């Protein structure tokens, strides 16, 4: 049975909070298999961003990352676990 852990990280005030979020992601880098960052771009660069992560490792490592991200003001992180049969 294969397990997938996907985390969505919503960042408000992206230009101010991105460096702190990046520090946390770097600290937990060995648990991050894939990272995708999304924000509105073009005429105006959005101050709200969404980062999607595919995570590996045990549940305690993933929970520590989620808790640390949620401890940053203006950042919301949620993890989704999907098991393939």
- Can you give the residue ranges of every domain in the chain? 2-84
CA–chain centroid gap for 72, Å, is 12
Q: Encoding tokens for residue 68?
A: 């640390």
pTM of the model: 0.90
Dihedral sign of CA atoms 74, 29, 54, 82 in order = negative
Residue ranges in the chain assigned as alpha helix (H)? 14-27, 59-70
d(CA 6, CA 80): 5
The pLDDT, as a whole number, for residue 66 is 98
pLDDT single digits (tens) 42-76 = 677 788 899 999 999 999 999 999 999 999 999 99
Which pLDDT does position 4 carry in this prediction?
A: 95
Q: Please give the pLDDT value at position 55.
A: 98
Dist CA 29 CA 27 (whole Å): 6
- Tell me the angle at which helices 14-27 and 59-70 cross, rounded to the nearest 10 degrees: 160
Average pLDDT for residues 19-32, to the nearest whole number? 96
We find that the CATH architecture of domain 2-84 is 2-Layer Sandwich (3.30)
């Amino acid at each position: 049975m294969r397990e997938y852990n996907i985390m969505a990280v919503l960042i408000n005030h992206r230009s101010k909070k991105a460096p702190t979020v990046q520090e946390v992601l770097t600290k937990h880098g060995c648990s991050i298999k894939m990272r995708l960052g999304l924000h509105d771009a073009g005429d105006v660069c959005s101050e709200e961003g969404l980062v999607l992560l595919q995570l590996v490792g045990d549940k305690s490592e993933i929970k520590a990352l989620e808790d640390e991200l949620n401890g940053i003001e203006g950042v919301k992180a949620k993890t989704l676990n999907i098991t393939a049969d």
